[in-house]
Chains A and B, each alone.
Chain A
Amino acid sequence: MHLTGNPVLDVILFTLLKLVGFVFVFVMGMATVLTWVERKFSAFMQNRIGPNRANIGNIRLGGLLHMIADPIKMLTKEAFTPNTPNPWLFRLAPFMAFVPALVVFATIPFGPGDLQVAPLNVGILFIFAIGSLNVYGAVLGAWASNNKWSLMGGLRISAQMISYEVAVGLSLCGIFMIYGSVDLQQIVIGQDGTWFGIVPKWGIFAQPVAFVLYLACAIAENKRAPFDVAEAESELVAGFWTEYSSMGFALLALSEFIEVVLIGCLGATLFLGGWQIPWLVEGTGVLAGKMYLFGNLVPHLQAHAWYLVVAQVAAFLIKAIVLIWLQLTIRWTLPRFRYDQVMRLGWRIMLPTALVNLVVTGIALMFYERF
């Protein structure tokens, strides 16, 4: 990558470019669009029209302008602070939910080679570490609200998050065993090629049980329906965000949508082959691991590298969007679980299934390597 000629400046500029392009444009853009898609989707599922009134002049774009109208409304509303002994904690909490949700995207490889904001050797452990922190936003915000509904919501989230984090971690262990790494870029490179010439070597085909577990547990960790007992409006008013209004509410809601995008991106990376295009460019993944964007490290790729890279980035984004769509479908299809059912599902079904899956994977790998 040659932008200026100065190697240090190049690295900084390129990192900034990746940061802006992926995290700010794609992730934040997706999260903003999701605020509209979510309502339109629910309207579609419930045979309603949905949001369609925001307009400039007479242009409505099918309600798409609500994406602009909503932030304006949020920004201009009063930021209400309840009568609480911890007002600063109350105001800080939305940021504690929002920041970790964005930071984790740094290690997601959205394209071959260098196209990853921060290549860390602990890889997915970093995502687990930072991702487990945004529970504090909800829990401390709930505590600081000084409201019994919020407190109940906060209690539910903290117990639910701990329970499902174990299952998420264990469900992904099989993937690490098969691809032999926790580095996300290495896992994607390992998903290159096909089995028997037809089936792509994707995580979803090697670990179908893990994929279902991952999706269910990740949605539970993100406290969205059918696991949204923390904000169950029929029981707890609005749960942990009862007292939030204005930008505090906007940040909490947005961090939930960013998590939706994260679940999509991580699922695409681990189970759907990341940026790999199946069947089309077999073998490039291994080379692309060493390739620089537009670079000269791999001579025979140099001639056609740029459109290959663009196609691979597009493949990743499409896979992520498919998983996001799947999450929305689940959210508007299934009814909410009762709280005790959520906990029982986590500890008595998800966790043992993940453990059995892990053991079976281990035994299968042992036989595969020995014979």
Chain B
Amino acid sequence: MTTEQILFYILGGGAVAASAAMLLPPLGKSPIHSAISLIVSFFFLAGLYALLSAHLLGALQIIVYAGAVMVLFTFVIMLLNLRPDETQEPRITAGKVLAGVLAAFVVGKVVTVVGLASAGAKAVDLAQPGYENFGSTKEVGYMLYTSFLVPFELISVLLLVAAVGAVILAKKSLHYVDRPEPPPSVFDQEHAHEHMHTQSGTDHAGDTHAPHDANAHAASHH
């Protein structure tokens, strides 16, 4: 076994173990622990990418996933203050059984078919001329700006749309049409009282404040 293979099995095993730990009970019960195990899994995957000579993608994997996406996840978990699930879910449900069977089927299928089809696959020798820059920033960047220019531009539009959409969605003033009064949210717990009254109409706002004023006046008189 070569060093490369040993590294592959360590990194691959680590990626699978960390992703599984994200879902399974000891860590998977608490969202923040799930997020941490997913970050670990992304690290193993970045190592695998580097092993496949995709150095730029390995770096991007860590910058984008570990450095941005998962920070966003932890931010949301902390913002919502999500504690571990107390609700006891049923251990085995029809959905879980179905998922397990389907997953086992897909894995089995892929392993057999791929094993048959790629039995004699030989990798390109990267030492030969023409492949010196394989996977480097220069090579991938060059391809991005030449043959993949249109998809690249479209992706940038997509990111812009996603950024605008995220801002609009996460904005506080969502109007709940045709729905009864929303429950006071944790974001404005301390102002929940005033909010409910101001939402029900401005003319009532004066009335609700009147007793307060009266009390204040009474207090000042005493």
Contact = CB atoms under 8 A, between A and B. Distances in A.
A contacts B directly in the complex (CB < 8 Å)?
yes
B59 A126 contact: yes
B55 interface: yes
B36 interface: yes
B74 A121 contact: no
A121 B78 contact: no
Contact of A162 (B68, B78, B79, B81): B68
Interface residues of A, number: 29
A270 to B, nearest CB: 16
A75 B59 CA distance: 36
Interface stretch (A3-11, A20-28, A128-136, A254-262): A128-136
Contact of A129 (B62, B79, B81): B62
A125 B75 contact: no
B51 interface: no
Nearest to B75: A158
Contacts of A121: 55, 136-137
Interface string A203-246: 00000000000000000000000000000000000000000000
A85 B32 CA distance: 12
A249 B58 CA distance: 32
Interface string B55-90: 110111011001110011011001101001000000
B45 interface: no
A159 B75 CA distance: 7
B39 interface: yes
Contacts of B71: 132, 135-136, 139, 158, 161-162
- Do most interface residues of chain A lie in helix, strand or loop, or is the interface mixed? helix
A115 interface: no
A140 interface: yes
Nearest to B141: A182
B61 to A, nearest CB: 8
Nearest to A125: B59
Nearest to A176: B137
A129 B59 contact: yes
A301 interface: no
Interface string A327-364: 00000000000000000000000000000000000000
11 contacts: A85-B84, A120-B55, A128-B59, A129-B46, A129-B62, A133-B67, A135-B71, A136-B74, A142-B78, A158-B78, A162-B71
Interface of A: 85-86, 89, 120-123, 125-126, 128-130, 132-133, 135-136, 139-140, 142-143, 151, 154-155, 158-159, 161-162, 165, 182
